Amino acid sequence: MKRRDLLKYATILPIGAGIASSLIPSAAVAKATGAKRDLIKELGLRSFINAAGTYTAMTASLMHDEVIETIQEAGKHFVMLDEVQDKVGEKIAELCHAEAATVTAGCWSALVLGTAGVLTGMDMKKVAQLPNVTGMKSEVIVQKGHNIGYVHALTNTGASIVEIETVDELEKAINDKTAMMWFLNSYAPFGKIMHEEWIAIAKKHKIPTMIDMAADVPPASNLWKYNELGFDLVCVSGGKAMKGPQSAGILMGKKELIAAARLSAPPRGGNIGRGMKVNKEEILGMYVAVEKYINMDHDAELKAWEAKIEVIKSAATSVNGVITEVTVPPIANHTPTLSITWDAAKVKITNKDLMLKLRNGKPSIEVMANTTGVNITVFMLKDGEEKIVSKRIKEELALAAS
Ligand SMILES: *Cc1c(COP(=O)(O)O)cnc(C)c1O
């Protein structure tokens, strides 16, 4: 592009728009012609069919149209950040049978802010002091089987993790520094102490409990199950199966703990949560997403998923040597999952190569690897995409079997 042309385009753009010169032509053309700008194309991004699942690296989920519309409309108005959090918090709390709720920047920041609230209470000096926990109860008890990478959210506050395995060890670990007892719902089967007992012991010692149930809807009833069981704080992701904003989540539970958690969150600064901002668009989008999710026909959705799984399964098994199995993970990502494996003597392709072929094909498709084959979920597919996925998988497997 000639410099003269560049300048011409540049005059159409606001001064200092900060857009790289390589983007100017299409941006300006789109503006001049009124054509819809396609940034995926313009930036040369690879868009794909997501037959893998709600993975952060793949941008997890696509928001419902109602959520996108909410975001667009909300973007046209100023409101006070605390007011929108108050109102939406009340609505979400009601929907989820909690005393109070607040929208956070994902489940991970719900974990951080909730823990911060437990450590500081309503003491502004302590809020400003974190992550220095001097003078505060700061030990969080976690079962060994639950102690995975997500505890980093808890230690971000300055708290330390105390790992236990048995009830006996738990009773011994509780002391006057114990701040909270944390439970990772999806890892419940890897722990020796289940929900009810965890809560009962905590209540006996007057220690607040928190549960991470980030990816654990469906079923929708989990949104109130853990509040009703008696967890003091419940943390969930907004942008996984609920299809809310990917950068939103919910912290809900006891009124005084939610109020304390919000002291470490924007609009207040000088705290550990200042960077965990959620804007009004996401807060309102999160509300609409939870509401829609709770009110949708989950039986119909499950039937639709099962039908899509069946389409892909029958296409795959039409290739000699291919073996499939449908399972539903018991807790997180509780949705039909198709495992496709094959007799290596008959179908000569590795799972890594199959994934690459699907990724590099047209259209691009992402699936997940399992030990020797691939796993497919359909809850992130748009209607009709199951046909494309089954066609491509059958093509590649048949080719490898010939
Ligand atoms: C996804 C996930 C998180 C993080 O949630 P975000 O909403 O991405 O912040 C935390 N804990 C568990 C168990 C998760 O699966």
**What DSSP letter does each residue of 247-305 carry, written as one string?**
T-EEEEE-HHHHHHHHTTSTT--SSTTTT----HHHHHHHHHHHHHHHHS-HHHHHHHH
Question: Which class in CATH covers the domain with range 79-294?
Answer: alpha beta
Burial 361-376 (b: 16+ CB within 10 A, else e): eeeebbbbeeeebbbb
| Regions of the chain short of the pLDDT cut 70 | 1-32
What is the reported pLDDT for 32?
67
Q: How far apart are CA 189 and CA 187, in angstroms?
A: 5
Q: Does residue 89 have its Cβ closer than 6 Å to ligand 1?
A: no
Q: Does residue 341 have its Cβ closer than 6 Å to ligand 1?
A: no
What is the reported pLDDT for 13?
44
- For residue 169, what are its two tokens? 């060890």
- For residue 122, what are its two tokens? 């309503």
Q: Does residue 393 have its Cβ closer than 6 Å to ligand 1?
A: no
134 Cα: distance to centroid of ligand 1 (angstroms): 29
- At 259, give phi and psi (nearest 5°): -60, -40
Question: Which class in CATH covers the domain with range 298-401?
Answer: alpha beta
| For ligand 1, mutation pick of 104, 108, 222 (most atoms within 8 Å of CB) | 108
Partnered with residue 249 across adjacent β-strands are 104, 237
235 Cα: distance to centroid of ligand 1 (angstroms): 9
- The 10s digit of each residue's pLDDT in 153-184 is 999 999 999 999 999 999 999 999 999 999 99
| For ligand 1, mutation pick of 58, 237, 242, 250 (most atoms within 8 Å of CB) | 237
Q: Does residue 187 have its Cβ closer than 6 Å to ligand 1?
A: no
Q: How remote is the C-alpha of 153 from its chain's centroid?
A: 14
Report the 3 state secondary structure along 229-262. HCCCEEEEECCCCCCCCCCCEEEEECHHHHHHHH
**Dihedral in degrees, nearest 10, Cα atoms 220, 223, 228, 230:** 140
What is the reported pLDDT for 2?
45
What is the reported pLDDT for 92?
98
Q: How far apart are CA 146 and CA 195, in angstroms?
A: 12
- C-beta separation of 144 from 111 below 8 A: no
What is the reported pLDDT for 35?
84
Q: Does residue 215 have its Cβ closer than 6 Å to ligand 1?
A: yes
Q: Looking at ligand 1, which residue's alpha carbon is closest to its atom 2? A: 214
Domains of the chain, by residue range, sit at 3-42, 79-294, 298-401
pTM of the model: 0.91
Q: Does residue 305 have its Cβ closer than 6 Å to ligand 1?
A: no
Q: CB 224: neighbour CB atoms within 10 A? A: 16
Q: Looking at ligand 1, which residue's alpha carbon is closest to its atom 5? A: 107
* Sign of torsion over alpha carbons 43, 47, 52, 53: positive
Q: CB 15: neighbour CB atoms within 10 A? A: 6
Q: How many CA atoms lie within 13 A of 34 on its CB side?
A: 0
Atom of ligand 1 nearest to the CA of 246: 7
Partnered with residue 369 across adjacent β-strands are 374
